[in-house]
Amino acid sequence: MNHNILGEGTRYYPEYWGSEAQNAFLETLQEGLQQAPFFVPRMPRTNQPWSIRMSNLGPLGWVSDKSGYRYQPTHPETSAPWPQIPQMLIDLWRDVSGCPADPECCLVNYYDKPKAKMGLHQDRDEQAFEAPVVSLSLGDSAVFRMGGPKRRGPTQSMKLHNGDVFVFGGAARLHYHGLDRILYGSSQALAAYPAFAEGGRLNLTLRRVSPIA
DNA sequence: TAGTGACT
DNA sequence: TTGA
């Protein structure tokens, strides 16, 4: 029996965006990040820093620090509101999410170092599990791992590449997932942008946070 | 630049 | 414990 990572509730759109769309978006993202600079998230309680850098766009941003995980309307270091979610991402959400309500958060994870990764976890801080999580990959390819509803249990890995969109909703909405590692230097897509001069991988995840009326 | 992948 |  060959249980497939692309099971019920997940959808994979290889190279959803070509280079023209990517470049238009990266330009906009770079501007947004001037108002919401990357910060280093930390583990609750231990305060241990993560290997990635993070920012957000939209009315709500997801943050993790010593006091826990939460969504909040402002940047944790500057206290400024997060920049707007670019229209290109709203359009992407409307195209692939199947959700009648627009996203409220775009979490921007920047895997900027060769060793950057993220352990297996659930996205469960939202109040609208009927809306999917929509993930866009830009830059270096990465080894993504998808599991099931419990932390222990079978997992499967797949590569995500520059421009790919991965959607997990339905039965997969609360499934464990993580990022084993990036294939550092595998893409030049970020090279022209000073904000992403280190290269690496950007992952943008669109989420609905509050209940859908 | 493999692929693996559960336990504390 | 979205880490080690």
Q: What is the average pLDDT across A22-36? A: 97
Confidence label for A46 from pLDDT (cuts 50, 70 and 90)? confident
Q: What's the CA A90/C1' B8 distance, rounded, in angstroms?
A: 41
Q: What is the average pLDDT across A109-113? A: 96
Query: Cα separation of A41 and A32, whole Å?
Result: 19
- Domains identified in chain A and CATH numbers: 10-35+85-207 (2.60.120.590)
Beta carbon of A184 within 7 Å of strand B?
Answer: yes
Average of per-residue pLDDT values in chain A: 93
Q: Express each pLDDT in A120-129 by its tens digit.
A: 999 999 999 9
Beta carbon of A148 within 7 Å of strand B?
Answer: no
Q: Express each pLDDT in A200-211 by its tens digit.
A: 999 999 999 999
Nucleotides of C under 7 A from a protein CB: 1-4
What is the pLDDT, as a whole number, of residue A1?
Answer: 38
Which nt sits closest to A119, CA to C1'? Answer: C2
Q: Express each pLDDT in A55-87 by its tens digit.
A: 999 999 999 999 899 999 999 999 999 999 999
A153 vs A63: which has the higher pLDDT: A63
**Which tokens go with A127?**
């109040």
Nucleotides of B under 7 A from a protein CB: 1, 3-7
Query: Cα separation of A180 and A162, whole Å?
Result: 16
Report whether pLDDT(A195) > 70: yes
Confidence label for A154 from pLDDT (cuts 50, 70 and 90)? confident
Contact between A19 and A189 under an 8 Å Cβ cutoff? The reply is yes
What is the pLDDT, as a whole number, of residue A6?
Answer: 66
Supply φ then ψ for residue A90, to 5 degrees. Answer: -65, -45
* Strand C contacts in A 30-69 (CB under 7 A): 43-46, 48, 50-51, 62, 64, 69
Report whether pLDDT(A32) > 50: yes
Q: What's the CA A143/C1' B3 distance, rounded, in angstroms?
A: 11
